[in-house]
Amino acid sequence: MSGLKRHTVRPWLAGVSLLLLGLLLQSVRAAEIQLAELMSMLSQVKQIDAAFVETRHSSFLNTALKLNGRIKYEAPGKFSKETLSPFSETITLDKSFITIVQRDGDISREVSVDSNPVISGFVESVRSTLAGDSTVLEEHFSVALNGSRPDWSLSLSPRNTRMMKLVERIVIRGQEQQLVSIETVERDGDVSLILISE
Q: How confident is the model at residue 70 (pLDDT cuts 50, 70, 90)?
A: very high
In the CATH scheme, what is the homologous superfamily, with its name and number, of domain 35-197? Lipoprotein localisation LolA/LolB/LppX (2.50.20.10)
Distance between CA atoms of residues 52 and 68, nearest Å: 6
Q: Is the pLDDT of residue 143 over 90?
A: yes
Is 71 in contact with 196 (CB distance < 8 Å)?
yes
Domain segments of the chain: what residues?
1-31, 35-197
The C-alpha atoms of residue 45 and residue 75 are separated, in whole angstroms, by: 7
Helices (H) and strands (E) in the chain, counts: 5, 11
pLDDT tens, residue by residue, 162-195:
999 999 999 999 999 999 999 999 999 999 999 9
Concatenated DSSP letters of 141-175 = EEEEEEEETTEEEEEEEE-SHHHHHHEEEEEEEEE
Alpha-carbon gap, residue 39 to 18, rounded angstroms: 35
How many Cα atoms are found within 13 Å in the side-chain-facing hemisphere of 78?
7
8 phi/psi in degrees, rounded to 5:
-80, -40
Mean pLDDT of 135-154: 95
pLDDT exceeds 50 at position 4: no
**Does position 23 have pLDDT exceeding 50, yes or no?**
no
In three-state secondary structure terms, 38 is helix
Query: Which pLDDT does position 95 carry in this prediction?
Result: 83
pLDDT band for 42, please (50, 70, 90 cuts): very high
